[in-house]
Amino acid sequence: MDRIERFADVVVRAGVNIQPGQGVILRTDTAHLEIARAVVAAAYAAGAAWVEPLWFDGPMRRSAVDHAGLETLTTSRGWALQRIREWSEQGIASIALLGDPDPHVLDGADPVKAAAFPAEETALMRETVLGRLRWTAVGAPNPGWAAQVFGEPDVERLWDAVATAMRLDTADPAAAWRARAATLAERGAALDALELTSIRYAGGGTDLTVGLIPGCRWTGGGLIDDDGVPYMPNIPTEEVFTSPDRRTAEGVLRVTKPLVLNGRLVLGLRLEFSAGRIVAVSADSGADAVEAQLGTDDGARYLGEVSLVDSDSRIARAGIVFHNTLFDENAACHVAWGASFPFSVPGARELPVERREALGLNTSGVHTDVVIGGEGITVTGTGPKGTVDIIRDDEWVL
């Protein structure tokens, strides 16, 4: 089995864990054609009833941003909504291949139009994925991504790094991921036992305290769907995460990894929070792209995720800035502005949006992860047992 076949096998067996007779949608850039074909083949080999590729493409998106009106870009379509509802009814699996082949494709475009999306479609798809479907997102190597990482389109070198991060170098990568998932789940259980009311990130220009929702649960390694089937939403994954009380973040954070956002490269991002809300944004480049996304809806300026990652991560040990959020967020601690994960609070998934928000969960059409950890970061948690160290100088100590 070559590396692309091993990649596809991990996506299908450890990622979405496709069951016989299940339908699959595959969201992928046109740059990932060879890998997409391998994933489709692996899905059918695992018993998929059908696999539908949904293609996206940077230059095509640029054409839409340049020529379509803002109203068109934000209008939801009835046929698209119906399709999502049918996916939910059928209980399909969703696979996304990431790995931006050109993070500069929207340079010079209107940042407001570049950040635009059909709100109803986006909200329904997110609710469907988080509430009914098994999904996974995986980084797929390509020349453009390699050029961002190494300064040249050295795809072979990128494949080596991705293979290490995804444990493709082990005898049975899917089994290796199940073992890693168990370790991360143990960390989540240890955090749950502390009944933390807040966590604080400090170091490297960040000093941010975030309150937690009473009874929230920390997730690590993977999830289990309503039918009892385990899956891993991200591969690689090295994090333990939960959704905080959106009303509580106070302080400042400095993003320690590059962010590719809506076709723009954001560097040196700094954010200030007050009463949970992002009130100030600055960056060495790309601040306008961030501001445009934060302006897309009321929830975009509030946090939907807090996450813990230490230097034991394979990605952290690689010492490479991947210029890909899926990988870089699993190299160090991170947070995300935008939508919360309703499953983080027992019973919240079944509640209407207004009751979720009353608990402190956030509602938004966006969810953007930014890395704030790395060497020197310390994370402490406060709860009924006092304040405890969780990560000290980038090492897990709990």
pLDDT digits (tens, 9 = 90+) for 15-61: 999 999 999 999 999 999 999 999 999 999 999 999 999 999 999 99
- CB neighbour list of residue 167: distance below 8 Å, 6 or more residues apart: 10, 173, 176, 177, 180, 236, 314
> In whole angstroms, what is the distance from residue 12 CA to residue 381 CA?
36
Mean per-residue pLDDT over the chain, rounded: 94
pLDDT at 320: 87
Task: State the DSSP code for 267.
Answer: B
Say what percent of the chain tops pLDDT 70: 100
Report the pLDDT value the prediction gives residue 122, as an integer from 0 to 100.
92
pLDDT digits (tens, 9 = 90+) for 355-385: 999 999 999 999 999 999 888 899 999 999 8
The pLDDT assigned to 289 comes to 95
CA 296 to chain centre: 19
Model pTM above 0.75: yes
Residues facing residue 207 across a β-bridge:
202, 252
* Pair 309, 184: CB distance under 8 Å: no
pLDDT > 90? residue 131: no
Q: Is the pLDDT of residue 95 over 90?
A: yes
Query: Tens digits of per-residue pLDDT, 254-264?
Result: 999 999 898 88
Q: Return the pLDDT at 374.
A: 80
Residues written for the chain: 398
- Are 293 and 115 in contact by the 8 Å Cβ rule? The answer is yes
Strands (E), 10-154: 23-29, 50-56, 93-98, 134-139
pLDDT of residue 168: 92
Residue 325 has a pLDDT of 86
Predicted confidence at residue 263, as pLDDT, reads 81
Residue 109: its pLDDT value, please?
Answer: 94
Backbone φ, ψ for residue 368 (5° rounding): -120, 115
First-to-last alpha carbon distance for the chain, in angstroms, is 39
Grouping H, G, I as helix, E, B as strand and the rest as coil, residue 376 is: coil
State residue 1's pLDDT score.
66
pLDDT at 393 over 90: no
**What average pLDDT does range 208-232 have in this prediction?**
94
Percentage of the chain modeled with pLDDT above 90: 84
pLDDT tens-digit readout, 292-338: 999 999 999 999 999 999 988 888 877 888 988 889 889 899 999 99
- What pLDDT is recorded for position 318? 78
Output the pLDDT for position 110: 95
For 286: left if phi > 0, alpha if psi spans -120 to 50, otherwise beta; the answer is left
- pLDDT per residue over 140-179, tens digit each? 999 999 999 999 999 999 999 999 999 999 999 989 998 9
Question: Which residues have C-beta within 8 Å of that of residue 201, sequence separation ≥ 6?
Answer: 207, 208, 209, 210, 253, 333, 335, 372, 373, 377, 378, 379
